[in-house]
Amino acid sequence: MFSDRGGTVLLAILVATGVGAAVLNLAVPPSSALHVSTYVLTLVGKYLCYAMLAMAVDLIWGYCGILSLGHAAFFSLGGYAMGMYLMRQIGPRGVYGDPLLPDFMVFLNWKSLPWFWLGFNHFWFAAFMMAAVPALLALVFGWLAFRSRVTGVYLSIMTQALSYALMLAFFRNDMGFGGNNGFTDFKDILGFDLHADSTRVVLLLVTCLALAATYVACRKIVDSRAGRVMASIRDAESRTRFLGYRVESYKLWVFVFSAAVAGIAGALYVPQVGIINPGEFAPINSIEVVIWVAVGGRGTLYGAAAGAILVNYAKTFFTSALPEVWLYALGALFVLVTLFLPRGLTGLMDGLGRAHERAGQDLISREADG
């Protein structure tokens, strides 16, 4: 299973990050040069959530040829499920001090909790919903779309419209999700103070674990028989169908799995950044995820994670150091990667390292347009 070098490196980095962050943040005193601040911890946690999202996109795009421009929506739905749990945990500590209703509902003069908020005071229920809601949406959407053979560009535009519609819906105050302010001012999770360093470290560790688990699960899937069918769907959908495979089922289930992973990534993201609002649904976010995958190299899984982390690190750096330049740089990155690096950075590294061995095992040379 760990015959792939990139995957091994990724898992090793994850272990190192988890252990390193825990030790350097908690055990090393703040005065030391080696101390890792909570800010950095949060940043790393955020990147890892993005990496998980990117992996979810890579699974369906890189291996099955489905370019989803709606994964930010699945990510946000998971985030909202976590946000609802965290809002209920605030309890009477809100500004208005209502024991049951979150502040924004008191502000809107609501008298009771809407039905879809019931149960979110239990963590197990919220945790289930974090994956179930995005998965259910993906199931319904995917069932409709794949059954009627909406593919390629059309599917991309449809997923984009879906996430746009969701964004508009979540901006409405009447929806009961806090309107354009979303959820914020969280206090604690499972009884632990969210602002405490130890909680932060645990959250980061959980994120590392989740990313590692995602990688292993995705690797299992793509290495399995089903994974090979997926690749053949990507490369020649009609031919696969004529050979007797139920193309729609394969696509549907991998799409649902990918949406659930995106939802969990979103759920881990919210307690670390401390806010979720409808802006997360914005179509541009979904497109950015695709670019992380493209930069890292699609169809590798670890490449997607690397791309997400690298691009986001660059974003953090540029937006604070040279805010004017960031959009130019990101735009140029999109253009240059598409034109000159169709296999991303991992493809480049492979090319540099093993140029002579590569012949014959090039899985990605065919384009995944369907």
Partner 1 sequence: MKRFPRGGRRLLLLLFALGAARPVFAQSSDALFLAALGELRGATYADKEQIVERLSASGHASTRQVLTAFLEDRLYVRSQDQNIFIAKPGDDEQAPLSLVDPVSLKDAGSAPRDGMEKIGTNNRLRRVLRTTVARFGLSNPDPAIRLDAAREMLKSLDEANVAVLRERIGAETDAGVRKEIETGLALAALDGTDQQARLDAVRTLSRRSSSDVRNRLASLLEKSPEGTFIESDERVRKAAASAVSSIDSTRSFYAAIETLFFGLSLGSVLVLVAIGLAITFGVMGVINMAHGELMMLGAYTTYVVQTAMPGHIGASIAVAIPTAFLVAAAMGILIERTIIRFLYGRPLETLLATFGVSLILQQLVRSVFSALNRSVETPAWMSGTLQFNEALSLTYNRLYIVLFTLIVFGLLLLVLKRTRLGLDIRAVSQNREMARAMGIRSDWVDAMTFGLGSGIAGVAGVALSQLTNVGPNLGQSYIIDSFMVVVFGGVGNLWGALIGGMSMGIVNKLLEPYSGAVLAKIFVLVALILFIQRRPQGLFPQTGRAAETR
Is residue 238 at the binding interface for partner 1, with CB under 8 A as the rule? no
Nearer residue to partner 1 within complex by CB, 160 or 312: 160
Which residues in the 38-77 window bind partner 1 by CB under 8 A?
Answer: 67
Among 156, 199, 240, 300, binds partner 1 (CB under 8 A): 156
Judged by CB, which is closer to partner 1: 21, or 133?
Answer: 133
Q: Which of 91, 152, 274, 279 contacts partner 1 by CB under 8 A? A: 152
Closest CA to 118 of 179, 166, 176: 176
Map the footprint of partner 1 across residues 309-328, applying CB under 8 A: 324, 326-328
Candidates 23-31, 150-158, 184-192, 260-268; binding stretch for partner 1 (CB under 8 A)? 150-158
Determine which residue in the list 127, 205, 287, 341 makes contact with partner 1, applying CB under 8 A: 287
By DSSP bridging, strand 188-189 and strand 275-276 are unpaired
Query: Which residue matches tokens 């604690």?
Result: 188
When asked if residue 85 is in the footprint of partner 1 (CB under 8 A), the reply is no
165 binds partner 1 (CB under 8 A): yes
Rounded to a whole number of angstroms, the minimum distance from the CB of residue 20 to partner 1 is: 34
Task: Please identify, using beta-carbon distances, which residue of 159 and 232 lies nearer to partner 1.
Answer: 159
Residue among 76, 94, 125, 112 at smallest CA distance from 281: 76
Per-residue exposure over 145-168, b if at least 16 CB sit within 10 Å of its own CB, e if not: bbeeebbeeebbebbbebbbebbe
Largest CA distance in the chain: 70
Nearest to 103 by CA among 115, 120, 87: 87
Stretch that binds partner 1, among 35-43, 73-81, 148-156, 249-257 (CB under 8 A): 148-156
**Cβ-based nearer residue to partner 1, 8 or 338:** 338
Residue owning tokens 């670390």: 272
| 186 burial via Cβ count (<10 Å: 0-12, 13-18, 19+) | buried
Q: Are 68 and 53 in contact (CB under 8 A)?
A: no
CA geometry: angle 293, 83, 311, nearest 5 deg: 20
Count of other CB atoms within 10 angstroms of residue 33: 5
Q: Does 147 bind partner 1 (CB under 8 A)?
A: yes
Applying CB under 8 A, does 27 fall inside the site for partner 1?
no
Rounded to an integer, what distance in angstroms lies between the CA atom of residue 316 and that of residue 29?
26
Residue from the set 268, 291, 311, 364 that interacts with partner 1 by CB under 8 A: 291
By CB under 8 A, how many residues form the interface with partner 1?
Answer: 48
Instruction: List contacts with partner 1 (CB under 8 A).
Output: 67, 141, 144-145, 147-154, 156-158, 160-162, 164-165, 168-169, 171-172, 283-284, 287, 290-291, 294, 324, 326-328, 330-335, 337-339, 342, 367-370
